[in-house]
């Protein structure tokens, strides 16, 4: 394991003898093996541990374990605690996404303040394959199927060469102590469900599936690089600076064949989603003044050219979905699935909504709330103004402006991140349940 660790790091140019590395150590088996290997390599290192405050005493015990490990070996150790649930609620994002943002923002601050050259995270080969499947089932382009990179900016992943079973065998052989994360056994998380239920079934079909999928990701990575080189060259030829924005001639864009992949690849840097690609192509034949709002830009038709400008804050996003599949592929939801009634309890997080799918009329809309919007908060039969509802919850003005609604027709189904409408609640007669997580 140590020899492969050194060879892989050299091959991928992850660190050298003079590199000052910050090790992201959770206390779990992967990060503890990584810490062992870096210590064996004799690198200039320190440890960083995040307490996300999600598992009570278990999280606190993880923190104490890592601090004790570092102290015994006289390794500098940085620790921090996050209110992950509060951050997720304030940003209207999933808990997993909140933890990721908090973690990497803190790493960036440590790099800048303490002068580290890189942050090492302990993702392994299994993590990479799980990411492949997560992106595959959510819908993605070729770049989403290439797996995690051994190096991305200041982040290095020196264990991507090793499987989870190889790491476990090494930890057992070297008697490396580590902490078990009880949440790893919970199949409510997409990654855990893939690891626990999906991959074992795939390996029954092909015992060498891990190697085969890894080889496929390698081929896709090579193909993605070729596509990116081509698209960058094409973009430089067709797009040009124009005042405060960018412009491109419609006639040149319409000549690209096949149209959909060209337009998506050229415009996705401007926030164009795959679902908006055909709308973008239709814009080429529209009249001057028509436009499309993406998540980040305004794409305006103007006398035979497309003008691209960054969206201002006063242009709220609005999305329309004609099916559950479109909702799932939009990227607005961290997790979205349909299930039937069961004995398992439904998720209780504010960031998750469980509604009766039979009561939903498509298309559905996601937009910012507006003055006059009303809904029946879960548990209430009377309609209430959204503005009054948010006031009652003491939501700060700066956060109220960001609140999104999910609507079926003109009925609010969910004040996203806060509460569903009572008219769409689960009842004894519910047959299909739509579970959505921000």
pLDDT in tens, 33-90: 999 999 999 999 999 999 999 888 999 999 999 999 999 999 999 999 999 988 888 8
Is 370 in contact with 415 (CB distance < 8 Å)? no
Q: Is the confidence at residue 312, as pLDDT, over 70? A: no
Q: Is the confidence at residue 397, as pLDDT, over 80? A: no
| Strand 433-437 versus strand 404-408 pairing type | unpaired
Q: Which domains does the chain have, with CATH numbers?
A: 2-218 (3.40.50.620), 243-310 (3.30.465), 318-437 (3.50.40.10)
Record the pTM.
0.66
Torsion of CA 91, 96, 101, 103, to 10 degrees: 140
* Burial of residue 383, with CB atoms counted within 10 A of its CB: 0-12 exposed, 13-18 middle, 19 or more buried: middle
Mean pLDDT lowest among 21-25, 134-138, 399-403: 399-403
Residue 317's pLDDT is 57
Specify which residues 434 forms β-bridges with: 338, 355
**CA-to-CA distance for 216 and 145, rounded, in angstroms?**
9
Tell me which range, 131-140, 289-298, 327-336, 411-420, is most confidently predicted by mean pLDDT. Answer: 411-420
Q: How confident is the model at residue 106 (pLDDT cuts 50, 70, 90)?
A: very high
**CA-to-CA distance for 296 and 284, rounded, in angstroms?**
20
Residue 308's pLDDT is 94
Q: Is the confidence at residue 375, as pLDDT, over 90? A: yes
Q: Is the confidence at residue 295, as pLDDT, over 70? A: yes
Residues 177-199: what's their mean pLDDT?
A: 84
Residue 244's pLDDT is 82
Residue 103's pLDDT is 95
Q: Is the confidence at residue 315, as pLDDT, over 50? A: no
- Identify whether 258 is preceded by a cis peptide bond (ω within 30 of 0): yes
Residues 125-137: what's their mean pLDDT?
A: 92
């Amino acid at each position: 394991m140590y020899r492969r660790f050194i060879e892989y790091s050299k091959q991928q140019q992850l660190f050298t003898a003079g590199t000052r590395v910050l090790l992201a150590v959770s206390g779990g088996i992967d990060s503890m093996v990584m810490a062992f290997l870096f210590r064996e390599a004799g690198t200039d290192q320190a440890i960083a541990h995040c307490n996300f405050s999600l598992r009570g005493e278990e999280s606190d015990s993880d923190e104490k374990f890592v601090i004790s490990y570092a102290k015994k070996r006289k390794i500098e150790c940085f620790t921090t605690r996050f209110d992950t649930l509060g951050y997720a609620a304030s940003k209207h994002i999933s808990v997993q996404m909140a933890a990721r943002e908090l973690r990497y923002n803190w790493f960036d601050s440590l790099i800048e303040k303490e002068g580290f050259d890189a942050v090492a995270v302990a993702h392994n080969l299994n993590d990479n394959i799980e990411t492949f499947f997560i992106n595959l089932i959510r819908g993605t382009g070729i770049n989403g199927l290439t797996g995690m990179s051994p190096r991305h900016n200041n982040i290095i992943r020196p264990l991507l060469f090793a499987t989870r079973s190889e790491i476990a065998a090494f930890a057992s052989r070297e008697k490396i102590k580590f902490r078990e994360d009880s949440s790893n056994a919970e199949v409510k998380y997409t990654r855990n469900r893939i690891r626990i239920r999906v991959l074992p079934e795939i390996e029954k079909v092909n015992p060498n599936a891990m190697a085969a999928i890894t080889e496929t990701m390698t081929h896709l990575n090579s193909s993605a690089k070729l596509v990116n080189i081509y698209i960058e060259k094409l973009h430089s030829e067709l797009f040009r600076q124009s005042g405060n924005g960018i412009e491109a001639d419609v006639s040149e864009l319409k000549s690209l064949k096949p149209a959909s992949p060209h337009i998506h690849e050229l415009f996705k840097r401007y926030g164009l989603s795959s679902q908006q690609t055909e709308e973008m192509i239709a814009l080429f034949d529209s009249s001057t003044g028509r436009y499309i709002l993406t998540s980040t830009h305004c794409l305006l038709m103007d006398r035979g050219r497309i003008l691209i400008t960054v969206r201002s804050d006063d242009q709220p996003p609005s999305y329309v979905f004609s099916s559950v599949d479109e909702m799932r592929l939009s990227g607005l939801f961290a997790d979205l699935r349909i299930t039937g009634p069961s004995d398992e309890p439904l998720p209780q997080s504010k960031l998750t909504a469980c509604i009766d799918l039979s009561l939903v009329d498509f298309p559905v809309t996601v937009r910012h709330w507006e003055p006059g919007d009303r809904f029946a908060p879960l548990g209430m039969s009377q309609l209430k103004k959204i503005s009054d509802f948010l006031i009652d919850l003491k939501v700060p003005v700066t956060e109220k402006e960001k609140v999104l609604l999910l609507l079926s027709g003109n009925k609010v189904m969910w004040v996203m991140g806060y509460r569903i409408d009572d008219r769409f609640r689960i009842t004894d007669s519910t047959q299909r349940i739509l579970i959505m997580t921000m």
